[in-house]
Amino acid sequence: MALQLTEESTSRYATISNGYKIHYNEYGEGPVLFMLHGGGPGAGGWSNFKGNIGYIAEHGFRVILPDFPGFNKSDPLVTDEPRRMLNARAIKELMDALGIEKASLLGNSMGGQASIVFALEYPERLDKLILMGPGGVLGSSLFNPMPTEGTKALFSLFKNPSYEGMKNLISLFLYDQSLLTEEIVKERYEAMMANDALHLKNFVKSQELAPPIFTDISTRIKEIKAKTLIIWGRDDRFVSLDHALKFLWEIPDSRLHIFARCGHWAQLEARDEFNRLVVDFLKH
């Protein structure tokens, strides 16, 4: 591929409903895979998946990394709508804007929530589904009190942003603390504080207006018809491993891959095996 793989070279914008601008990064040609980021402060598509987009695209896929509404380079937003619903619809409208009839979705955490809602509301637009630690949709855990340690730290950082708070949050994302470099903390902190932290303030305001972020739609999970790969870190401190088993039990055409010595960011901690796993699932 001739295009140099950088955030800047892959950066794009699209306009969806009411003139709202969505930012996304795009690379590759072939069947479409949307990789949907989590909901932490400073999160974005490129930040979450920059270590994965190249490998997957070079193995025959058009990979799109959207920034959800109110995150990173997408327009600011205050909403009273549950974010999982808003985000799922935004992906559908982005597909419409880009002329994409059908795509596979890979969702991490909040992106997993949106992927589940998309699978339920727009099944005709979905090819395959990959879920990575989606929280907030299956109710309580058998093993851990709710909200989990990681989730509490995440919402605390939205309300009280700081460099040390970001460092602590990333330490909770990771099992392997050697990956907790100043570079990764600095990058996420600067993204969090961009635009005078407008996205942070809007997120907090939206949480005050919207229904509770946690819900239980486990009775609907069995309605998902797409072929589904569930990926989990055994040591996830945000969404407990028992939720992976619930998804495996309820989704009719599903399989589960668990990474030992891995937290909430399997795409980083187990990057090479993760990339191969995703490509193999999408191709077969």
Q: Which residues are catalytic?
A: 264
Half-sphere exposure in the Cβ direction for 194 (13 Å, CA): 17
44: left (phi over 0), alpha (psi -120 to 50) or beta: beta
User: What 8-state DSSP symbol labels residue 81?
Assistant: S
Bridge partners of 29, per DSSP, are none
* Rounded Cα gap, residues 192 and 24, in angstroms: 17
* Rounded Cα gap, residues 62 and 101, in angstroms: 13
Cα–Cα distance list, 34 to 101, 149, 187, 207 (Å)? 13, 28, 23, 25
Residue 267 contacts by C-beta under 8 Å, 6 or more apart in sequence? 48, 49, 51, 52, 108, 132, 274
Nearest of 74, 42, 83 to residue 170 by alpha carbon: 42
Residue 201 contacts by C-beta under 8 Å, 6 or more apart in sequence? none
